[in-house]
Each structure stands twice: as structure tokens, then as C-alpha cells.
Amino acid sequence: MVLLLAQLVCAGEVFDARCVGVSDGDTLTVLRGKRQVKIRLEGIDCPELHQSFGTRARQFTSSLVFGKKVTVDAKYRDRIGRTVSRVRVNGKDASLALVEAGLAWHYRRYSSDPLLARAEAHARREKKGLWSVPNPVPPWEWRQPKRRQPAEPLTAIGARISRFLSRRD
């Protein structure tokens, strides 16, 4: 249903709405009239909730936009139907605020915004947020299945099952 509603927003459209939900640091839901629209903040990528600083990024976004009137500048729809947008609240750009706080990467793969690039460079120099730890893993790398290791190698799990079954005899 959200996918269908998201399709009602056109690229280049600017509208006011009320933020009614924050899924993670860079994804929120706004109420436009009586319709909910899923928004992905443009130009950035926040840590996933299970990564370091993921919860902090969601809390930051929540404190910035939740329950408030926001202005949505729709850019395009992503492959899962979210409206990729720049969002402003009280004149403040949410994407830029997250990068300045060190709670998001400038997502260079999809954005060439010089403001975001400078904000990330500054946050890195100042060791803000996720830049306070050595070698933070970008979420686009963390999401790659080949990069994740199972909690326990399958051979170890198999050995534990074999021991369990042998004890039952």
C-alpha cells in the first residue's frame, strides 16, 4: 500500500507534510493530506540500526522531524518505491544536519552535492559521531551479504548437532 501511495508523488514536486514516523536515520514517513508517503533522505546513507551509530542516527532524525511540519522536495523514486527527497524542517535540511552531526555518509554514488561533501569532510576532521571510531563501515558495504560472516561457522554448528545427537543414544 505504501508503494502505491509513494507513486502518487512526482519527481520535482515540493509539498508540505507532517512527519508521522521515523524508521531509521534516513527513512521516514510523512502524512500528506490523508496519505502516508515513505521518504528516503536524498544524498546520504545512515548506519543501519544494527550498526554502530544506527540507533543514534534514528534518534537524531526523530528529534529533528518527528511530529513536525516538513517540506518535502521529491527527487525520484527508488527501486523499492520510496520517494527520495530533500526534507526541510524549520528551514533546516535534514540530510545536511545528519552529515554535519557525523551520523551519515554523503552517498557519493547517488549524489554530487558539494554541501554534503564539505560537511562530511568537516565531520571527519572533527571526529564527530561515527567518525570518532577508527574505520567505520559504510552501510552499503555492511549490507553486502558477502561481507557478513555467520555468527558461527556452519561446520561448528554441524559439530554441535552431531554431539547433541550422539548424547541422546
Question: Catalytic residues, which ones?
Answer: 40, 48, 82
Number of domains in the chain: 1
Residue 160 has a pLDDT of: 61
Residue 14 lies in a domain: yes
pLDDT digits 0-9 by tens, 97-127: 999 999 999 999 989 999 999 999 999 999 9
Q: What is the CATH number of the domain that holds 19?
A: 2.40.50.90
Residue 11 has a pLDDT of: 72
Residue 62 lies in a domain: yes
Per-residue 3-state assignment (H helix, E strand, C coil) for the chain: CHHHHHCCCCCCCEEEEEEEEEEECCEEEEEECCEEEEEEECCEECCCCCCCCHHHHHHHHHHHHCCCEEEEEEEEECCCCCEEEEEEECCEEHHHHHHHCCCCEECCCCCCCHHHHHHHHHHHHHCCHHHHCCCCCCHHHHCCHHHCCCCCCHHHHHHHHHHHHHHHC
Residue 148 lies in a domain: no
Distance, CA of 141 to CA of 126 (rounded, Å): 23
Residue 57 near residue 48 (C-beta atoms within 8 A):
no
Residue 60 has a pLDDT of: 98
pLDDT lower than 70: segments of the chain: 1-9, 146-169
Residue 102 has a pLDDT of: 97
Residue 169 lies in a domain: no
Domain that includes residue 39, residue range = 2-137
Residue 144 has a pLDDT of: 85
SS3 state of residue 163: helix
Residue 160 lies in a domain: no
